[in-house]
Structure 1
């Protein structure tokens, strides 16, 4: 796989949902890579660059400061949106710990996206459009209460945007966007302010 094809993902085939899901469960994905399902294809995404890890760690650290004990934060948890035929692996997912504790330890079934309380995606230059459009619509249709998009490549400049109040039509009623450098408030059950002043900005094109 070339670097160019890896940046945008590598399509393995177009198949029925049940077959795709079973194949996803059985994939032996290289360490650090993510396998997602989109447009009836399994797509392999390469390991995220260092700035993703830095941003994710900062967000996770701040969330844990006020996180209720029954909630957990997960970095490699697949979430599926059945009504859209999509399965994504967000950079962070917050969901009740009991859901994962009750899961079959012998399977790698993804979490129903409707069970997520917060989903966090951090854009790369090659996938920013998908995070802003396809994933935005999918998370809204799934009823994810909060979608946090950390977008270093926003045309307005690097931005952190919290989408809330999802609609079944694939939109969110409320949008709160702040540029890097200003804090972003997350409502209950988090009730926390995420500082963005130390988020790394975009590299020169």
Structure 2
């Protein structure tokens, strides 16, 4: 992950956030890279490994079996954690498609993370700790009702952890499984995903 220091010469938290968000909107990010705002900086996230993309694709394929028509899956959608002034581009977001379809086509504003039904992150070597800590904390504060963390680099072996029921900035229900066991997403998904097919 590369952090880009952006100095707008402005003072005041509100104006600084507006400046960061405007800079984020206007960035010309290389193909495959993602720009995120965290800790008052714009960070560039490099393209992931092919195994990372394969896991995201398998999750997406499984979700499409149960998604109602009015929901959609996005892989490059910027979402804003409003209470914390953060913008992330998760590996996968499920949200009502109307929120994206009806957004202003002239702007690239991030969508409010609180509108997401599910956010999934698959760890890469360079950002695994961020997915386990910073993003976990941020998504709970949004609040995102379900956060799926697929951790290929867990010290105990590859795992998938589903964080649910956010309350006061923390998830109150956590289900962790090793690759090879079924990953169960509760309603409104009601879906079991075979993690044995996940490459690692």
Q: Specify the TM-score bucket, using the shorter chain as the normaliser.
A: over 0.9
- Equivalent pair of 1:14/1:40 in contact (CA under 8 Å): no
SS at match of 1:47: coil
Paired position in structure 2 for 1:180: 179
Q: Distance in 1 between matches of 2:92 and 2:2?
A: 20
C-alpha distance after superposition, 1:61-92 (max 9, x if no partner)? 00000111110000000001121111100000
Paired position in structure 2 for 1:5: none
1:12 matched to 2:5? The reply is yes
Alignment of 1:102-141 (within 5 A): 102-141=102-141
SS at match of 1:13: coil
Paired position in structure 1 for 2:192: 193
Runs of 4+ in 1 over 6 A off after TM superposition: none
- Equivalent pair of 1:78/1:90 in contact (CA under 8 Å): yes
Paired position in structure 2 for 1:36: 36
**When the two structures are superposed, what TM-score results if normalisation uses the length of structure 1?**
0.91
Q: Distance in 2 between matches of 1:12 and 1:65?
A: 42
- Equivalent pair of 1:14/1:41 in contact (CA under 8 Å): no
Question: How many Å apart are 1:14 and its aligned residue?
Answer: 5.7
- Equivalent pair of 2:38/2:86 in contact (CA under 8 Å): yes
C-alpha change, 1:14 and 1:82, in structure 2 (3 Å) is farther
Aligned-pair Cα RMSD in Å: 1.0
SS at match of 1:197: helix
Paired position in structure 2 for 1:65: 65
Paired position in structure 1 for 2:167: 167
SS at match of 2:184: strand
Unmatched tracts of structure 1, length 5 or more: 1-7
- Equivalent pair of 2:123/2:152 in contact (CA under 8 Å): yes
- Equivalent pair of 2:3/2:41 in contact (CA under 8 Å): no
Paired position in structure 1 for 2:45: 45
Q: Distance in 2 between matches of 1:140 and 1:13?
A: 27
Aligned residues: 193
C-alpha change, 1:14 and 1:181, in structure 2 (3 Å) is farther
Paired position in structure 1 for 2:151: 151
- Equivalent pair of 1:20/1:41 in contact (CA under 8 Å): yes
